[in-house]
């Protein structure tokens, strides 16, 4: 297959192998989006009289045939194809002759890959959004289910004040709202049509960019053609930061589960088939799923830095460096999907210990409750604090092990509906 940039000579084979890298394999994920971009582009070419309506009809039919191959999983890149763009153009030329060569008029591989990636990222962001919302719903449901079951809260890894399973699980639900805000921001950046920017300086053809923007379902376009090309790397970096935020939430959730599941805590348990054993210790039930979620989440949190460094020190315009973005971002997106799905799966099977506080080690968990109780009886706070502190030192402090929290967001007032409303607002821009 001749290269679409062929000028009568071949690149050195070692150079070609190095520069193509893993791009061909990664490009398979963009096949559908490349075809959709081409369909919009040829419709626009008819509008500006660079393609006849009869030609557009034939090309569209053939593109739909190729799209069907993609959707059935039958699409492959030929061994000599450089990328997805050259493969599809070559297939059209092979099947339709000279007509297939007309599809590239008015665009460059630079804006072609940009539109492919933006369409791909929009689709992936939507999937991530749905997975985040599913986890949010589960966390809120569990929060309400276990809202009356107390467990110890910790500061400095020391027993501190009463918490509850409702408060703990609800906290992660609300934290996902913050993550959804940043995911919506990534969507807005991706939701801009770069097609028509060509190699970064526009085209002498009278391209109708409004038409392709509408056809491809973008909310707006990257108007300035230089700015459109400058979006390469920036879009990926903003999404990477959003993914890292979600990963941070999952990391802490996983760490809590690992800790609460340990024998020294015993706050929760999981069915034995969801844990793993030891090769020499028959009693072990290891939280391997949560440990791997924790580790993968840490890797994802490094993604924004990796992409930032890959796109640093380059002047505006296209550079081959950008090709490597797919190698780090695409697998990371797959990892995030898996982490969200596995976190949901594990939490569906969580079993909580409903009698944690009967253990005498948690007697002092209620010192603040007792101080506040005495303040409500008219004793100045500092004096009440000293009274309780003295009782603790003398070993005579005893608490009723009940809480009386009623303010917004506390154990007795989880504000589940209000948090749900926040999530509805946060997810609205990417519906």
Coil, strand or helix at 300: helix
**Alpha-carbon torsion, ordered 303, 309, 310, 311, to 10 deg:** 110
* Structure tokens that stand for 247 in this block: 């990963």
Residue 286 resides in a domain: yes
Contact between residue 144 and residue 416 where contact means Cβ atoms under 8 Å apart: yes
Outline where 265-379 has alpha helix (H).
288-301, 303-310, 325-347, 367-376
DSSP notation for 392-416: HHTT-----------STTBTTB--H
**Integer angstrom CA distances of residue 173 from 143, 260, 296:** 9, 18, 20
Q: What is the rounded CA–CA span in Å between residue 188 and residue 220?
A: 9
Query: Does residue 2 register a pLDDT over 80?
Result: no
Residue 210 resides in a domain: no
**Diameter of the chain measured on Cα atoms:** 94
* pLDDT confidence of residue 263: 86
342: left (phi over 0), alpha (psi -120 to 50) or beta: alpha
Residue 211 resides in a domain: no
Residue 125 resides in a domain: yes
Query: Does residue 136 register a pLDDT over 90?
Result: yes
Residues 317-327 have a mean pLDDT of 85
Same domain, 286 and 381: no
* pLDDT confidence of residue 5: 45
Contacts 24+ apart (CB under 8 A), 189-192: 189/231, 189/234, 189/235, 189/238, 189/239, 190/118, 190/121, 190/122, 190/125, 190/235, 190/239, 191/118, 191/122, 191/218, 191/219, 191/220, 192/118, 192/218, 192/219, 192/220, 192/221, 192/222, 192/228, 192/231
As to burial, measured by CB atoms within 10 angstroms (0-12 exposed, 13-18 middle, 19+ buried), residue 308 is middle
97: left (phi over 0), alpha (psi -120 to 50) or beta: left
Domain boundary pick from 105, 134, 163: 105
* pLDDT confidence of residue 313: 87
Coil, strand or helix at 25: helix
Contact between residue 46 and residue 54 where contact means Cβ atoms under 8 Å apart: no
Query: Does residue 431 register a pLDDT over 60?
Result: no
Same domain, 333 and 278: yes
Query: Does residue 6 register a pLDDT over 90?
Result: no
* Structure tokens that stand for 169 in this block: 């699980």
Q: What is the CATH number of the domain that holds 53?
A: 1.10.275.10
- How many C-beta atoms surround the C-beta of residue 80 within 10 A? 12
Identity of the highest mean pLDDT range in 126-140, 304-318, 390-404: 126-140
- How many C-beta atoms surround the C-beta of residue 212 within 10 A? 25
Residues 286-306 have a mean pLDDT of 95
Residues 139-143 have a mean pLDDT of 98
Same domain, 351 and 370: no
| pLDDT tens-digit map of 51-93 | 999 999 999 999 999 999 999 988 888 877 778 888 888 899 9
Contact between residue 144 and residue 414 where contact means Cβ atoms under 8 Å apart: yes
* Structure tokens that stand for 118 in this block: 């933006």
Identity of the highest mean pLDDT range in 107-121, 243-257, 352-366: 243-257
Q: Map tokens 């072990």 to a residue.
A: 284
Coil, strand or helix at 154: strand
* Structure tokens that stand for 239 in this block: 């999404």
Same domain, 26 and 165: no
Coil, strand or helix at 262: coil
Q: What is the rounded CA–CA span in Å between residue 208 and residue 325?
A: 29
Around 259, how many Cα atoms within 13 Å sit in the side-chain half-sphere?
Answer: 11
| pLDDT tens-digit map of 352-363 | 999 999 898 898
* pLDDT confidence of residue 403: 87
What does the angle CA 112 – CA 20 – CA 120 come to, to the nearest 5 degrees? 35
Same domain, 142 and 128: yes
- How many C-beta atoms surround the C-beta of residue 345 within 10 A? 12
Residues 96-106 have a mean pLDDT of 91
Outline where 152-268 has alpha helix (H).
165-190, 209-215, 225-261
Coil, strand or helix at 429: helix
Same domain, 122 and 18: no
Same domain, 22 and 129: no
| pLDDT tens-digit map of 376-388 | 999 999 999 999 9
| pLDDT tens-digit map of 390-428 | 999 999 998 888 888 889 999 999 999 999 999 999 998
198: left (phi over 0), alpha (psi -120 to 50) or beta: left
Query: Does residue 290 register a pLDDT over 70?
Result: yes
Query: Does residue 9 register a pLDDT over 60?
Result: no
User: 192-193 and 220-221 as β-strands: parallel, antiparallel, unpaired?
Assistant: parallel
Task: Provide the domain count of the chain.
Answer: 3
Same domain, 148 and 233: yes
Domain boundary pick from 105, 133, 163: 105
Q: Which range marks the domain in which residue 384 is found?
A: 360-393
Domain boundary pick from 64, 84, 105: 105
Average of per-residue pLDDT values in the chain: 90
Same domain, 19 and 61: yes
Q: How confident is the model at residue 270 (pLDDT cuts 50, 70, 90)?
A: very high
Same domain, 77 and 181: no
């Amino acid at each position: 297959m001749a290269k679409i940039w062929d000028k009568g000579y071949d690149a050195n084979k070692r150079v070609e192998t190095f520069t193509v890298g893993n791009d061909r394999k990664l490009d398979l994920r963009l096949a559908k989006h490349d075809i959709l971009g081409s369909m919009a582009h040829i419709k626009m070419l008819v509008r500006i009289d660079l393609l006849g309506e009869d030609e557009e009809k034939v090309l569209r039919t053939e593109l739909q045939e190729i799209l069907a191959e993609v959707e059935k999983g039958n699409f492959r890149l030929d061994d000599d194809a450089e990328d997805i763009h050259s493969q599809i153009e070559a297939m059209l030329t092979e099947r339709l002759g000279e007509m297939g060569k007309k599809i590239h008029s008015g665009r460059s591989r630079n804006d072609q890959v940009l539109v492919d990636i933006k369409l791909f990222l929009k689709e992936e962001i939507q999937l991530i959004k749905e997975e985040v919302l599913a986890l949010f719903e589960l966390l809120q449901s569990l929060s309400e289910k276990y809202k009356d079951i107390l467990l110890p809260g910790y500061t400095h890894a020391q027993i501190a004040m009463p918490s509850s399973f409702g408060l703990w699980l609800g906290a992660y639900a609300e934290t996902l709202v913050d993550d959804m805000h940043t995911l919506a921001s990534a969507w807005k950046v991706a939701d801009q049509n770069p097609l028509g920017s060509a190699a970064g300086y526009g085209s002498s053809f009278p391209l109708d960019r409004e038409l392709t923007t509408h056809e491809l379902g973008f909310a707006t376009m990257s108007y300035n053609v230089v700015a459109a090309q400058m979006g390469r790397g920036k879009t990926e970096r903003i999404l990477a930061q959003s993914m890292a935020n979600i990963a941070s939430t999952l990391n802490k959730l996983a760490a809590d589960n690992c800790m609460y599941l340990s024998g020294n805590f015993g706050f929760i348990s999981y069915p034995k088939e969801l844990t793993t054993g030891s090769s020499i210790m028959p009693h072990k039930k290891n939280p391997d799923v949560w440990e791997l979620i924790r580790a993968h989440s840490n890797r994802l949190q490094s993604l924004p830095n990796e992409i930032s460094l890959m796109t640093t020190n380059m002047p505006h315009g296209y550079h081959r460096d950008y090709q490597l973005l797919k190698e780090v971002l695409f697998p990371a997106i797959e990892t995030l999907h898996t982490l969200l799905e596995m976190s949901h799966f594990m939490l569906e099977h969580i079993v909580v210990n409903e009698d944690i506080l009967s253990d005498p080690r948690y007697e002092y968990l209620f010192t603040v409750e007792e101080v506040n109780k005495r303040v409500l009886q008219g004793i100045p706070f500092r004096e009440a604090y000293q009274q309780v502190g003295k009782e603790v030192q003398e070993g005579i402090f005893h608490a009723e092990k009940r809480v009386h929290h009623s303010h917004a967001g506390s154990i007795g007032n989880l504000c589940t509906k209000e948090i749900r409303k926040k999530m509805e607002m946060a997810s609205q821009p990417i519906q």
